[in-house]
Amino acid sequence: MSRYTDLTIYVKPKANTTYLRVEGEELVFYTTEPPVGGRANESLIKYLSKKLKVPRRNVVIVRGVRDRVKVVRIYELNKDDVMKALIKRL
């Protein structure tokens, strides 16, 4: 799995609904899950794997596990593929 893309995503837990949007130049992920026990992180991984149509094992938080700003690595997709898929599904 040498092909991957890293995304920097700001996570806002305890929102009314779960969604991803662009705010300014940032990707912001809103989740209904609280930031407890990794639930917000798991929500982000599940959401991205579903929207990008990749297995959950291909979506990994590589930095920021305990922070609101996370770097998420998406394996088997290049940056163009990721951005096209996200724009199509936002």
Q: Is the pLDDT of residue 71 over 60?
A: yes
Question: pLDDT band at 1, cuts 50/70/90?
Answer: very low
DSSP string covering the chain: ---EEEEEEEEE-S-SS-EEEEETTEEEEE-SS-SSTTHHHHHHHHHHHHHHT--GGGEEEEE-TTSSEEEEEEET--HHHHHHHHHHH-
Query: Which tens digits make up the pLDDT trace of 19-35?
Result: 999 999 999 999 999 99
Query: Which tens digits make up the pLDDT trace of 39-65?
Result: 999 999 999 999 999 999 999 999 999
Query: How is the chain split into domains, by residue range?
Result: 4-89
Question: pLDDT band at 86, cuts 50/70/90?
Answer: confident
Q: Tell me the fold of 4-89.
A: Conserved Hypothetical Protein Mth637; Chain: A; (3.30.1200)
